[in-house]
Every structure is written in structure tokens, then in C-alpha cells.
Amino acid sequence: MGSLISQINAVVAMNVKSLPQRAWMSAATVFAVAIVVAVLLAFLAMANGFQATVAGTGARDVAIAMRQGAQAEVNSVLMKEQVDLLSAGPGIAKNETGPIVSAELYVIVDGIKKASDTKANLPLRGLSEAGMKMRGDLKIIEGRMFQPGTNELIVGVGALKEFEGFELGRELTFARSRWTVVGVFSMDGKVAESELWADIGSVQSLFQRGNSFQTVRLKLDDPAALEQLKAYNEADPRLKLDIKSEADYFADQASGMSDLIMYLGWPLGIAMAFGALAGALNTMYTSVASRAREIATLRAIGFGGTAAFVGTLAESMVLALLGGLIGAIAAFLFFDGITASTLGGSFTQVVFSFKLSPALIWQAAVLALIIGFIGGVFPAWRAARLPVVVAFRAA
């Protein structure tokens, strides 16, 4: 047994050390695997980043209510009476001023997307103090908060970064009314960072919404209280709204787009992996052929077929692993952290960053190793069974 292991060690070392002799073929395999891994990781990082931004947004103990069938905040319409009625429901957390609820408007305005220099849909959210308090991780990082009752607005860091026209101090004109950007806010990387926020009353009058709203957020005593509130809502024919936890709402919003990216990324990655596999097989068969005399010599002096097998397989795995490593580093350098924006579930832009994670890198590494394994195992089989005499003759 010991001699088998030392045989294997000797052959593996010999194969790996002689790689430079087959430099071009080997480099082609390494690059092919690197490209597959980098492309796959780019897609996975995109899906992951979008998912993290959107799905990470919602709180479990905040309920969001919309008109039945509305599906997204932008479609919903709620009347003041419905908001009041729902606020009187059970399970809602209270403070000194009463139940903690935030009735909000969500309208779309144009911004200019910097990447393409074209108009893009940005959400302008009208909300009150209660709504801001409900979002615990809101931070004003520049300027100040808007004054209630004025045409002032604050802009999320994501919207500021990707779109033109919302710089601090900038004046905007919407339908004859002038608005001023007075502050920049962050919210721990959540979707709201792609939004513009202003006072609910000002937005209602700008968009002639009277005393209507689009959604209402209700702070719950605890996540379990959602069921009570739902039952209350179902029992009243004046309500019959769609109520979900904010966490569920955003998870739904995230799923479509990140699934789409995943469904594009994996088949592409696998298709490209097949291409790279063909290259790896070619390289390894060539390697076996060029080492035929060497293998035959080893066999002649008593090395077993197993050593030749493992040696060839190891060579292939080393190439694939090297490729995987280069691909992962390239993906990390070029893609991790770059920001992009796309049209989200509410028909507005969502700004997100590509995000690599150890789990994703592991998935890509597995793909690289599979290429290395399959690309090595068949040629290794040939190496192990190479009849000594034929090998000498061929060489």
C-alpha cells in the first residue's frame, strides 16, 4: 500500500512539474475553465445582490396592506376611511399617540439613468413621521430631513449614485411646483435607498390624490399578530385588502428577477462548462499521448496502472482548480460590489450591488472540479491501460 502511495506521489509530481512542457494546451484549459467560472459567478453575484437588496428589505413585524389584487405598491389605492378602519384593528403596536401606522403614497417620477443617459422610473414615496420611525435603520448621511408640509425631499444613496438630477440642493420641477433636495439618506442597503422621500401631504397635493393613499404599513405587536389582523380585515366588507408581512411582500418582489437571472446564469454556465470540458479532454488526451513513452517506461520499471491513472487525473484537476481560482479572483476583482439598477416589481428602478459570497464561490469551484474530473478521468483510464509495448512503438 505504501509503495502505491509513493508511486502515485512520484507520478503526480512528475506530471505537474512537466506541465510547462505542454504550456499552451494547458494554459488553454486553465483559461477556458477560468472564463466559465467568471461568467457563472458574475450571474450568481448579480442574482444574489438583487435578492439581498430586495428580500432583505422587509420586516417580519410590519404588515403592509394594499388593495386586493394590487400586487405592488404602485398599483394600489386606499381611501382614508379604509386606513382608519384598519388602524383600529387588533394586533397593532401602539405608542402615546395611538396605533403605529403609516399610510403612504408611492408615485413614479423620471430620473436620468447615468449608465444609459435615458429616462428611468424612480419612486417618490410620500410618508409621515410615523412611517420614518417605523424604519429603524434610516440614517440621514448628508443634509437634513425634509420639513413636513413643504416641497422638500430627501434622496436615497442608491438613487443618488445611479441617477442624475437629485444632487443635494438641486431644484426639481414637477407639474409647475418646485421641489428641493435637502438630504441624502441610507437604509442599510435596502430597496428604499433607490427611492425619493417627501412629506405625504405635499405628495398628495402634487399628484392630486386628495386624501387617498396607496399602501398602509402597520407595526405589529409581534409577527404572530398578523393572523389576527388578517382575520379582522377579512371580516369587514369595507376592507378586504391584501395584507402581508413586509418581509413576505419584498420576498415576492425579489423572486421574479433573481430567479430570472439564476435561470439564465446556470444554463449558460453549464453550456460553457461543456465547451471547456471538450477543451480539457483534448488537452488531457494530448498529454497522455505525449507522455506515452514516459508512462510506458514507468510501467516497465514496475509502476502500476493506478499510479498512471491518478497522475493523469491529478494533472487535470490541478489545471481545472487553477482555472477556477483565476476565474473566481477575476470575478471578485471585476464584479463584486459594482452597482447596477434594473426595473423591479413595483415598475421602478431598484439599485443593487453585485455580491459574491463564499457559498457562490464554492458552487463555481465545484463546477470547475467537475470539469477537471471528467476531463481527466477518461484520459487517465487510457493512460492506465496503455499497453507498454504499443506505447514504446508509438513513441
Partner 1 sequence: MSDLYLIFKNLTRRKLRLSLTLFAIFVAFLIFGVLSSFNKAFNSGIELSADDRMVVVNKINFTQPLPIAYVNKARAIEGIDVLTWCNWFGGYYQDPKNFVAAMACDAETLLDVYPEIVLPEDQKKAFMANRQGLIAGQSIAAKYGWKVGDRIPMNSNIFSQKTGGSAWDFDVEGIYTGSTEQFDTNSVYFHYKYFDESRSFGKDFAGWLILRTTDPALNDQVANTIDTMFANSFYETSTDSEKAFNKAFIAQIGNIAMIVTSVVGAAFFTILLIVGNTMVLAIRERTGEIAVMKTLGFPAARIFKLVLGESLLLSLIGGLLGIGAAWLIIGAMKAALAGILPTLVLTPDVALTALAIMVGLGFLTGIVPALSAHRLNIITAMSRQ
Count of residues near partner 1 by CB under 8 A: 53
What is the spatial distance between Cα 55 and Cα 236, in angstroms, rounded to a whole number? 31
Q: Please, which residues bridge with residue 124 across strands? A: 107, 196
From 4, 5, 300, 343, residue interacting with partner 1 (rule: CB under 8 A): 343
- Minimum gap (Å) between residue 394 Cβ and partner 1: 12
From 8, 11, 12, 25, residue interacting with partner 1 (rule: CB under 8 A): 25
Closest C-alpha to 122, from 160, 149, 152, 72: 160
Lookup: cell for 309: 491513472
Question: What residues contact 346, with CB distance under 8 A and at least 6 apart?
Answer: 72, 73, 74, 106, 123, 253
From 203, 276, 288, 318, residue interacting with partner 1 (rule: CB under 8 A): 276
Question: Going residue by residue from 202 to 231, which x/- string records binding to partner 1, judged by CB under 8 A?
Answer: -----x------------------------
Per the CB < 8 A criterion, the answer to whether 269 and 36 are in contact is yes
Burial of 58 (0-12, 13-18, 19+ CB in 10 A): buried
Which residue lies nearer to partner 1 by CB, 16 or 35?
Answer: 35
Q: Strand, helix or coil at 212?
A: strand
Q: Which of residues 28-67 bind partner 1 (CB under 8 A)?
A: 28, 31-32, 35-36, 38-39, 67
- Minimum gap (Å) between residue 286 Cβ and partner 1: 6
Residue whose C-alpha cell is 465545484: 366
Q: Which of residues 102-131 bind partner 1 (CB under 8 A)?
A: 107-110, 113, 115-116, 118-121
| Residue 75 contacts partner 1 per CB under 8 A | yes
| Residue 171 contacts partner 1 per CB under 8 A | no
Which residue lies nearer to partner 1 by CB, 109 or 383?
Answer: 109
What is the spatial distance between Cα 366 and Cα 251, in angstroms, rounded to a whole number? 28
Residue 236 has φ and ψ, to the nearest 5°, of -105, 115
> In the chain, how long is the greatest CA-to-CA distance?
95
Give the footprint of partner 1 on this chain (CB under 8 A): 24-25, 27-28, 31-32, 35-36, 38-39, 67-72, 74-75, 77, 107-110, 113, 115-116, 118-121, 174-176, 207, 268, 271-272, 274-276, 278-279, 281-283, 285-286, 340-343, 347, 349
